[in-house]
Structure 1
């Protein structure tokens, strides 16, 4: 796969629609060509202690942020029909489906690929297949885990390795 978008969401609570940040890394012809990061006012708009402990974001960080619907107007045209990759894609695709549904927006039709699932196939010798472990294995240092843009960038580097043979 030579061109794709790596995606990562962070959520405010256990509701998949509670996206509070998004990171996107655009890859064309196997080169990173652009980054996108945005804080999002979550829906529902509350933060659980656990989620904040993971990513550090709080209600005050997103109080003045755009809604996902506003951000989607920017993001959707840039995605086009590019494949989307995510590490543990069931979470990120689930968030995308939930937040689009919450705002009454049409569901996406882009194909989704999972770098975690593919890394399990290609690197069975790893002790685990968490994002930080796999990114280190492919030579990428993940410095700020659970920041949506940092995680999306790590995912992009992993995808460049694990989906090398996909058209």
Structure 2
């Protein structure tokens, strides 16, 4: 379900954002086995967390395990998603949510919440792939690891905490590259439409067209 004509605030508290990253056990969006969270305040990453999650269905696809290294035995004693979400939900309230390839991470969040009968939160979100393409259009690739190398950001790729922190740092670097005063200026300056998530549905983050810059006087 898509949110149409949403009146959600862009984000309630200026300067506060949170970057998230999920790893999944298999091809299902309900199989989250790890979440990384990087808290952002006033232009810097202040704290990073990583939590293992025990999926409802303990089926680990070897392909996924090769990517992130998490096996069924690693999460056998981990909490299921509702317990992890309960620790994060209130603190995420009012923050802009960042994710690199947000279509995937927000899909995991939506499907997992629905699977457990939990309400979707109300928040705005930004795909940092979309933002990076606007900030560095000349780069041939805008994958997380490529951007981390380009910007000199330390990355243990596919460790959810490290990925989330890199995502947050990429967003902050992009705002500086674009000459913006903060994350709140992105939509106005770039034409990017922030995604919206609410209990009644969602709308995706879109790249849009960059606003035309006024021509210099002759």
TM-score, with structure 2 as normaliser: 0.73
**Matching residue of 2:38:** 25
CA shift at 1:78, angstroms? 1.2
Residue 151 (structure 1) aligns with: 163
Quote how far apart the aligned CAs of 1:122 are.
Answer: 1.9
Indicate if the aligned counterparts of 2:23 and 2:34 stay in contact, CA closer than 8 A.
Answer: yes
Larger Rg: 2
Deviation digits for residues 6-41 of structure 1 (CA, Å, limit 9, x no counterpart): 100000000011000001000111122222211000
Distance in 2, matches of 1:18 and 1:81, equals: 26
Give 1:1-167 correspondences, 5 Å limit: 2-142=15-155, 144-164=156-176, 165=180, 166-167=183-184
What secondary structure, in the 3-state scheme, does the structure 2 residue paired with 1:32 have? strand
Give the whole-Å Cα distance in 2 for the aligned partners of 1:43 and 1:94. Answer: 17
Deviation of the 1:2 alpha carbon: 3.1
Is the 2:17–2:98 contact (alpha carbons within 8 Å) kept by the matching residues of 1? yes
**Aligned mates of 1:37, 1:56 — CA distance in 2:** 14
Q: Give the superposed CA RMSD.
A: 1.3
Unaligned runs of 5+ in 1: none
Contact 2:36 2:162 in 1 (8 A): yes
Q: For each residue in 1:60-93, what CA deviation from the matched residue of structure 2 results, as whole angstroms up to 9, or x when unmatched? A: 0001100000111111011111010010000000
Question: Which range is displaced more, 7-16 or 127-136?
Answer: 127-136
Taking the aligned partners of 1:76 and 1:111, their CA distance within structure 2 comes to 14
**Could you say which structure has the higher helix fraction?**
1
Inter-partner Cα distance in structure 2 for 1:115 and 1:65: 29
